[in-house]
Chains A and B, each alone.
Chain A
Amino acid sequence: MNSFALADCSTVEAALSQLKDGAVVKAGGVDLLDRMKNGTDTPARLVNIRNIAALRGIHPTDQGLTIGALTTLAEVADDPTIRSQYTLLADACGHAATPHIRNMATLGGNLLQQLQCWYYRSADFQCLRKGKDICFAFSGLNQYHAIMDYGGCPSVAPSSGAVALLALDASVELTSAARGKRTVAIKDFYVQPDANPHRFHVMADDELLTAIHIPKLAPGTRSAYQKYGEKESHDWAIADAGILLEMDGNICRRAVVAMGAASPVVRRSHEAEAVLTGKPITPETARAAGKASMTNAMPLSMNGYKVQLFPVAIYRTVLLAAGQMDRDPSAAG
């Protein structure tokens, strides 16, 4: 890790005034410090926003719910409103990483964490995402990589919080000193690698992610998120499913099927959603939705198993959301 200067800020205004000359924002620091220790990031200046009290907290609003960007994953997961109404967000935040990390990591930081591709994370590999024209994963080790929509970079979306927020039609509030506040929907927040391999999201260098807005839910909404890894204690998703169902009795009026570990940017499977919409939720329809989700799958040399795994994640999470199945022991972590 390189030496760096640390600007400790207690207000949004103070932090925004520091965002210049390559300064990098540090919230919980969980992902950033890993990258600095790996030597992939060598910022000369860190702006510590962790102590900005105004950015922490969960507030019901007329439109729905606003979550301060510095609210920790543990706080989100434990919040009674989120647990009862926005269940899949509580699931996603409550099953990320480890209890220690969830106590440190913030929801904003979770959304902004960088790719977990081991080539991207290594200072020894200079890849497409770092300004070169090569990806090492296609011909290298890609067992945890993407199976669809990957273009030139098959790394997978690392944030499980983003999967849940995509399903919830949430948006993020971005604040800058020069331009004030703007709101960007989660579905528009992340950048596809082929659109611009050097950007992960649309937030500018002088902006802070200050809040997350979640709209009110339609009546009859049920939701769930499950993450499948190779193990339960502290593992990255090899498959995951964020499911939101708007139910009329047992008929699904509207379905959202969101996935993270399938592609570089969190995505919805409209094919799976179409299978569920207007139908009762049964083991058969849930399985059919899972199967439909893999319509466009193009696995790499070592990750064909994920094409088998995602439909399982989706059908079981659909049934969990519908209250027809218990939480899966294979997704307990």
Chain B
Amino acid sequence: MATHTPHSLPDAPLSAATEAAAATKIVSMPIGIPGYTLHEEQRTVPASEPPVLPVNSDLNFIGKSLPRWDGRAKVTGSARYTADVQLPGMLYACFVNSSLPHARVLSVDTTAAESHPGVKGVHVIEQVFGNAVLRDPSLERSKLPIVRYAGQPIAAVAAVSPQAAEEAAAKVKVKYEPLPFVVDADLAREPNAPLVFPGAADQAGTAGGGGSEGGIPQTGNVHGPAVRKQGDAEQGFKDADVIVDARYTTQVQTHSALETHGVVADWKPDLLTVYASTQGTASVREELAGYFKIPKSQVRVITEYMGGGFGAKFGAGNPGVVAATLSRKTGAPVRLMLDREEEHLSVGNRPSSDQRLRIGAKKDGTITAIQLISFGTAGCGTGAGCAGPATNLYKWATLHVEENDVFINAGPAAAFRAPGHPQGAFALEQSIDELAARLNMEPLDLRDRIDENPVRRVQRKIIRESAIWKSRNPRPNADPGPIKRGVGLSQSIWYRHLTMNCGAEVRVHKDGSVEVLSAVQDIGSGIKTVLAQILAEQFGVEAAKISVKIGDTNYPVGPNSGGSVTTASLTPAVRDAAWQAARKFLASVAPALGAMPSDLTLSGGMVRSASGKFQPLAFRAAAAKMNVDEVSAQAKRIPDYDPKKYDTYGGIDVAEVAVDTEAGRIHVKHVLSVHDCGRPINPAQVISQINGGVIQGISYTLFEHRLLDPNYGLMVNANLDKYKIAGSYEVPQVEVQLTESYIGQSSTDASGIGEAAGIISVGAAIGNAFHNATGVRIRQLPMTPAVVLAALNQPQPSMESL
């Protein structure tokens, strides 16, 4: 994301504040970190809000590591993922993809494919999703979309079996006019490089971020710079006692979720039903309704289970639109799941970066200037900016940032877990360590000086006291043998992004059963369990017995799960709905209990009379006394209690490595992850996400690399054996410490952990640990044996030695 203002995800600001302003109350809320900074602060909140939730230690279900609500379904295989959906008469579709990296499509002959046995429909694609689009479309005249990368879908076939579809797809004859191409981002910046677009082009972001703002200049393939200047950075460098100046490069990473992109689309005259592997049922509905110009009420999107997203699964995209088109054409449900090669090529990636980072500082560490000039490629998309950490992590006097996207003929990027931040932190946090050494300061001391975030201050205390940090030898390259041990750390930052476009309904039935309904999808991070815990806390019912019905746009709209918004956005709405449903429930049992509703409370699973009119009554027994069969309440997200307070989320990762200096291997032995997501509603699930983020971060740092042949423009490792991803041997001991942190912003005061969970900071932590081990800096990803040995063969002057 290019900007980092509070609540900057693409929601229109809502007027909920004005609606709610009518009646308010002043409440006292817990603020800070238990054991360190906990205190109370007052907040003015709508009178309809539920009572303030105490800290986790005072609760029964929230804040407890309850088992995953759908864990049994997942491990027994009864969970139905999109590829498991079987509908009567369902057809199987597959794409015909471009074999060239840049071409004009002159014609597509589908005759032979259409007459192939079993084929029911063939569709030639008229609009491609994902690519940047020309600001001035008249610069390019073409009947069919221009091919801008190898693997771009051109047509699709639906048939009675996957085999028939694949065979028929091979019979679609595409006539191309090849165009000059470039797949190397350095070559693409040269003056006479082949142009990916004949003029300026932009890619819109998604609910997960990515993309770029409009109006940015473009010269050749260079889309940029997007400039941000505060103060006079050149003067800032003149004022500096020490300047660190370095170049960092990072590679393109593909999302590689276990489950590929895919949908089952069922077009009926009055209703289009789409089963989708998506991070946003709302975003899929929105895009399909818009594309087909049908009312949103006639589009239903279902995501029962989802096998991973990481930011690339928003909207219907090419698979959704094409499957729905083929379903309409054939009158049958159509399944279109991508294969692994298509997953690497056409549905997103993390852009590369080439960063020149300069930091100037006074002797006491005060930063006088930060300058970051970055170039990165998002393929034929935009979104390679990576200045978030340099802009937002530390206090600086002056700032000069220029971010550039470099177009190449490769698949467009998509939002990817903390867009821009792993790249930016890899550079920034190594340079901050370098600066500390130049200033003769310890890494933690310098950060204490320049980082004002109160949570990270506590996290640094925790790290100072940790065994792993205490074991760090401050002198680099201290081990004499070929295997050298090192410890390093990196900080990270993420933002309190929210969407007001979400809500939930809670129902209480006379038999004592309770259910929650929301269109939100569980992308694997565990929102089902979280919702069950919130209802369990309200009604005193076991979380496993709560019915959680989500992932269906028939329910109240849910947040699109990107930018770590889901828990922060949805849980207050669910708690509000649960509270309101509980009040309706009390009103419905009051007559039978001979009490006034205002005399009744529901806590700890018991209905109680404040005046002592009757002995406490179990919730279920009380439900039998309801005067209606069902009570229900809907609530939507209301704005944060004190939106002027802008809060970020942070974490610090410490990595211990053993560097095999002869074999060029970095073995990550141990990672200590200290992270903050506000109130952790289910600590085990938070830790699970951090485990995943750390592993993904190690994988990005050491192994993953999209490789494009420079001469033919084709990806040579579009698989899972030569596109290398960390496996079980590469998983270190991961030790997670959560800093439970309260900020008094909502009825749950919770937030997500998806982005902050290690992926941002592990790369620089390994880089700093590598330096601690060897005295040499690696400023290039991935740190393969070739890169490690090259770095060790050319040791830099040891200007960092303490």
Contacts and interface: CB of A to CB of B under 8 A. Distances in A.
A14 B724 CA distance: 41
A63 interface: no
Contacts of A231: 702-703, 724, 726-727, 729-730
Contacts of A228: 663, 665, 785
B789 A308 contact: yes
A328 B663 CA distance: 10
A66 to B, nearest CB: 31
A277 B308 CA distance: 55
A233 B658 contact: no
Contacts of B727: 98, 231-234
Given A122-B716, A124-B714, A230 B784 contact: yes
14 contacts: A3-B167, A122-B714, A124-B712, A136-B711, A228-B665, A231-B703, A233-B727, A234-B727, A236-B722, A308-B789, A309-B785, A329-B658, A329-B667, A330-B665
A286 interface: no
Interface string B110-130: 000000000000000000000
Nearest to A235: B724
Interface string B723-761: 010111110000000000000000000000000000000
Contact of A305 (B660, B664, B710, B726): B664
Nearest to A329: B667
Contact of B730 (A98, A233, A302): A233
Interface in A213-240: 228, 230-236, 238
A139 interface: yes
A312 B663 contact: yes
A194 B709 CA distance: 25
Given A118-B716, A228-B785, 4 more contacts: A122-B714, A136-B711, A233-B727, A332-B729
- Nearest 8 Cβ contacts at the A-B interface: A233-B727, A232-B729, A118-B716, A305-B786, A330-B663, A233-B729, A330-B665, A312-B662
Contact of A309 (B658, B663, B710): B663
A313 B709 CA distance: 29
A3 to B, nearest CB: 6
Contacts of B709: 119, 136, 140-141
Contacts of B664: 305, 308-309
B409 to A, nearest CB: 15
Contact of A140 (B667, B711, B724): B711
Interface string B782-798: 00111001100100000
A328 B660 CA distance: 10
A2 B663 contact: no
Contacts of B721: 234-236
A82 B729 CA distance: 25
Interface residues of A, number: 38
A90 B729 CA distance: 20
A2 B167 contact: yes
A54 interface: no
B717 interface: yes
A53 to B, nearest CB: 31
B166 interface: yes
B458 to A, nearest CB: 35
B724 A125 contact: no
Interface string A29-44: 0000000000000000
Give the interface SS of chain A, mostly helix, strand, loop or mixed: loop
A134 to B, nearest CB: 11
B466 interface: no
Contacts of A302: 786
B477 interface: no
B707 interface: yes
Interface in A289-333: 302-303, 305, 308-309, 312-313, 328-333
Contacts of B786: 143, 302-303, 305
Contact of A333 (B714, B729, B784, B790): B729
Contacts of B789: 305, 308-309
A124 B99 contact: yes
Contacts of B663: 228, 309, 312-313, 328, 330-331
Given A230-B785, A305-B785, A140 B660 contact: no
Interface of B: 99, 163, 166-167, 658, 660, 662-665, 667, 702-703, 707, 709-712, 714, 716-717, 721-722, 724, 726-730, 784-786, 789-790, 793
A3 B163 contact: yes
A204 interface: no
Contacts of B665: 228, 330
Nearest to B788: A305
A232 B731 CA distance: 10
Contacts of B730: 231-233
A1 interface: yes
Given A118-B716, A330-B667, A230 B724 contact: yes
Interface in A100-152: 116, 118-119, 122, 124-125, 136, 139-141, 143-144
A139 B658 contact: no
B1 to A, nearest CB: 31
A55 to B, nearest CB: 27
Contacts of A332: 729
Contacts of B166: 1
A305 B787 CA distance: 9
A118 B707 CA distance: 11
Contacts of A118: 716-717, 722
Given A1-B166, A232-B727, A136 B667 contact: no
Contacts of A124: 99, 712, 714
A230 B721 CA distance: 11
Nearest to B669: A329
Between A124, A139, A236, the greatest number of chain B beta carbons within 10 A of the residue's beta carbon is seen for A124
A141 B707 contact: yes
A273 to B, nearest CB: 22
B712 A136 contact: yes
Nearest to A315: B662
B733 to A, nearest CB: 15
A228 B665 CA distance: 10
Between A328, A330, A332, the greatest number of chain B beta carbons within 10 A of the residue's beta carbon is seen for A330
Interface string A177-214: 00000000000000000000000000000000000000
A146 to B, nearest CB: 15
A309 B727 CA distance: 22
Nearest to A332: B729
A230 B167 contact: no
A206 B256 CA distance: 41
Contacts of A140: 709-712, 716
Contacts of B714: 122, 124-125
A141 B716 CA distance: 8
A1 B703 CA distance: 29
B573 to A, nearest CB: 42
Nearest to A3: B163
A118 B660 CA distance: 28
Contacts of A333: 729
Contacts of A119: 709, 716
A69 B721 CA distance: 25
Contacts of A139: 711
Contacts of A125: 712, 714
A312 B660 CA distance: 11
Nearest to B163: A3
A303 B710 CA distance: 16
Contacts of B717: 118
A313 B663 CA distance: 8
A60 B786 CA distance: 43
A2 B170 CA distance: 10
Contacts of A3: 163, 167
B350 to A, nearest CB: 19
Nearest to B483: A329
B447 to A, nearest CB: 31
Nearest to B716: A118
Contact of A238 (B702, B703, B785): B785
A58 B709 CA distance: 44
